[in-house]
Structure 1
Amino acid sequence: MTDEQNQPNRAEITREKLLSAALDVFGRYGFDGTSTRQLSEAAGVNLQAIPYYFGGKEGLYVATAEYLVSRIDRHVGSLRQQIGAHLMALEAAGQTLSEEDARRLLTEMGATMVGLFVSKESEPWARFIIREQMEPTEAFARVYQGLMRPMIEMARRMIGTILQEDPASEHVRLRTLAFVGNIMVFRVAHAAVLAQMEWQSVGPEQLQTLRNLVAELVGQLRQAKGNT
């Protein structure tokens, strides 16, 4: 194989190195606190690779957000597709989602998310996302539209079914955010969780405990009294 034929592979490797390094560095220091030299050194690539592949630091930052979405989607994309396909099949058959199915799917989604949130791999993702929560940029829009919104809306559909309310209602939106927050706390307050639970780390036993908690949280979702 010629050098020319190898070139796309080298380009892909360089881009991957930059995006992986940028996810960690931007998450630690923020956009303004990060220099292109820091990024290139962390990635182990030439400084000129940033403007060459991304047009500059701004382009790399937005691309990093898209890269983050793709990384997380590797873990949750299959489940999201399965749930989406199930919902579409019900609609095609003129059927509605049952409460039993809604609880099962929501539990599966929550268990998948909590497993992802407590993993070591999610640390740089959380730093990046938390910074964007505090001071949203175009990067937040990419993460929200590409990942957060579809997952939250899917959860809304299931929680609306369980509560027997319109998934678009303010109440269901808030209940969904509260449910998601109960799971996200295990990443955004990871140190406090370990300290409070007196855990050294989250291993298989602790992870199963958290997954059981997710099932408990789903089980606590109940239709409000007097709601018809």
Structure 2
Amino acid sequence: MTPPLSRSDAAREKLLSASIGVFGRYGFDGASTRQLAEAAGVNLQAIPYYFGSKEGLYLATAEYLAAQIGSYTGEMRGQIASRLAALEEAGQALGVTEARAILTMMAQTMVTLFMSKTSEPWARFIIREQMEPTEAFRRIYESIMGPMIGTARRLIGVILDEPQDSAHVRLRTLSFVGNIMIFRVAHAAVLKQMDWESVGPKEIETVQRLAAELVAAVRPDGATS
């Protein structure tokens, strides 16, 4: 059982959690320290006390966001890391069939996250950083986005039978990731196109099946089966 947070830790946690949404909606320049404190339900002085400045809070929020994504995907990433380490220890190469299975697990995990309300404020924050990257983007990318894309690139390299560092595999990986991310960045369009009023278990299952189809469609140039 996780021990309860101290009063000090709870205030810091409230600030970080609330700041994802505030910074995501208004950006760094548009979000005032008063807005941030009020959204968290803490005293205005909590920001300099815990983070030194609004910039310090912004960077800490980026790290907190990355940790939240990491927590959601932790079990999956642990399974993948253990399997890849076992293969390496045994001196065995990752086969195409297993690479597809792992990539399918990744895609289905991520599309489920992207379709959930949980990821909505995360996406706003990250999309702003994608458009005008700052130090916050570097921290998110290096801690969670980069490693996840790197793993997908390794798997796609195996499937395509090409070096994972080639420009072609990098581009195929980015294209694949984009097909998954659309379910968050174009969430409203997805609902309209599918005539869905909301997302529930049935809709998630439908999109998970599509994720598996997207993996199956990753084939070397000219391959038909």
- Class of the TM-score when normalised by the shorter of the 2 chains: over 0.9
Distance in 2 (CA, whole Å) between partners of 1:161 and 1:99 is: 6
Report the counterpart of residue 60 of structure 2 in structure 1. 63
- CA offsets 1:19-73 (integer angstroms, 9 cap, x no match): 0110000000000001101101111101000000000100000000000011111
Distance in 1 (CA, whole Å) between partners of 2:91 and 2:39 is: 54
Report the alpha carbon displacement of residue 225 of structure 1 after superposing the two structures with TM: 3.0
Distance in 2 (CA, whole Å) between partners of 1:168 and 1:145 is: 17
What secondary structure is seen at the aligned counterpart in 2 of 1:30?
helix
Report the alpha carbon displacement of residue 88 of structure 1 after superposing the two structures with TM: 1.2
Distance in 2 (CA, whole Å) between partners of 1:139 and 1:78 is: 25
Q: Which runs of no fewer than 5 residues in structure 2 stay unpaired?
A: none
Residue type of the partner of 1:86? R
Matches within 5 A, 1:187-202: 187-202=184-199
Moved over 4 A (4+): none
Report the alpha carbon displacement of residue 82 of structure 1 after superposing the two structures with TM: 1.2
Distance in 1 (CA, whole Å) between partners of 2:74 and 2:143 is: 11
TM-score if structure 2 supplies the norm length? 0.96
Report the counterpart of residue 202 of structure 2 in structure 1. 205
Residue type of the partner of 1:180? V
Report the counterpart of residue 162 of structure 2 in structure 1. 165
Report the counterpart of residue 105 of structure 2 in structure 1. 108
Distance in 1 (CA, whole Å) between partners of 2:74 and 2:165 is: 23
Report the alpha carbon displacement of residue 11 of structure 1 after superposing the two structures with TM: 1.0
Distance in 2 (CA, whole Å) between partners of 1:225 and 1:90 is: 29
Distance in 2 (CA, whole Å) between partners of 1:223 and 1:209 is: 26
Distance in 1 (CA, whole Å) between partners of 2:199 and 2:182 is: 14
Report the counterpart of residue 131 of structure 2 in structure 1. 134
Distance in 2 (CA, whole Å) between partners of 1:44 and 1:213 is: 41
Report the counterpart of residue 117 of structure 2 in structure 1. 120
**Number of aligned pairs?**
219
Report the counterpart of residue 12 of structure 1 in structure 2. 9
Distance in 1 (CA, whole Å) between partners of 2:116 and 2:180 is: 13
Report the counterpart of residue 49 of structure 1 in structure 2. 46
TM-score if structure 1 supplies the norm length? 0.94
Report the counterpart of residue 211 of structure 2 in structure 1. 214
TM-align CA RMSD: 1.0
What secondary structure is seen at the aligned counterpart in 1 of 2:6?
helix
Report the counterpart of residue 147 of structure 1 in structure 2. 144
Pair 1:91-2:88 in alignment: yes
Structure 2 residue corresponding to 1:29, chosen from 19, 26, 29: 26
Report the counterpart of residue 72 of structure 1 in structure 2. 69
Residue type of the partner of 1:49? A
What secondary structure is seen at the aligned counterpart in 2 of 1:73?
helix
- CA offsets 1:192-221 (integer angstroms, 9 cap, x no match): 010111110111111111000011011111
Report the counterpart of residue 4 of structure 1 in structure 2. none
Distance in 1 (CA, whole Å) between partners of 2:7 and 2:114 is: 32
- Work out the percentage of aligned pairs sharing the same amino acid: 65
Pair 1:224-2:221 in alignment: yes
Distance in 2 (CA, whole Å) between partners of 1:36 and 1:137 is: 19
Distance in 2 (CA, whole Å) between partners of 1:88 and 1:169 is: 23
Distance in 1 (CA, whole Å) between partners of 2:190 and 2:222 is: 33
Report the alpha carbon displacement of residue 77 of structure 1 after superposing the two structures with TM: 1.4
